[in-house]
Amino acid sequence: MALALFDLDETLLRGDSASLWLEYLVEQGLAPADMLAREQAMMNLYHQGKMDMHAYMAFTLAPLAGKARTWVDGHCQHFCEQWLLPRLYREGLDRIAWHQRRGDTLVLISASGEHIVAPVARALGMDHCIAIELDMVDGRLTGETCGVLSFRQGKVARLHECFGKACAGSFAYSDSINDLPLLEWAEFPHATNPAKALRELAQARHWPVLEWDKSRLE
């Protein structure tokens, strides 16, 4: 049974789920508006392959520190339904359905927090969700992360934790050069809606390049 590994942001989703989540928090009055500009500066570093993910997660989790996990999960479910599902690419949903018909094991693997990613994974019928895990004490978020961050080589490390080192027959889909370790790990890598650096590398290596349009999940 092959693995089908899907990145979320800018791959299945038009936009970045973590950035959109912060916009949601600001709109709900749960985070200060001046966080948005600082977060975008950090995201610019991400696109350059220079982001410090620990610093980014500490910054973006600060508004949730001390909040009950049940409270956070309620907001995240609403956010998923109202903000994220309408932004999914139709072609991405079709590709997921193709893998389901094949009997592949579907994995949503993301460098965003699992509080954001897990509701999307459930909505899509994914078998597994790998995302950045959040630290909790007595059912409340501390504002910190725990475990190996599923970012860059960390995605491969988390895959090894879940599935061992076997990758025969596996497919991987991502838009970002930050996911090069993931794409190289898979037997069938697919550069999906790729940014310039990944597009050039994919073309040089003769990897499939997928372009998904702006169709939404109605």
Is 94 assigned a catalytic role?
no
Do residues 103 and 1 lie in contact, with contact meaning Cβ atoms separated by under 8 Å? yes
Q: Strands, DSSP E only, in 8-60? A: none
Catalytic residue among 9, 16, 104, 179: 9
**Cα 160 to chain centroid, rounded:** 18
Is 73 assigned a catalytic role?
no
Element (H, E) at 90: helix 90-102
Residue 122 phi, psi dihedral angles, 5° rounding:
-65, -45
* Integer-rounded Cα radius of gyration of the chain: 17
- Burial class from Cβ neighbours inside 10 Å (0-12, 13-18, 19+) for residue 205 reads exposed
Cα dihedral: 8, 12, 14, 16 (round 10)? 0
Residues involved in catalysis: 7, 9
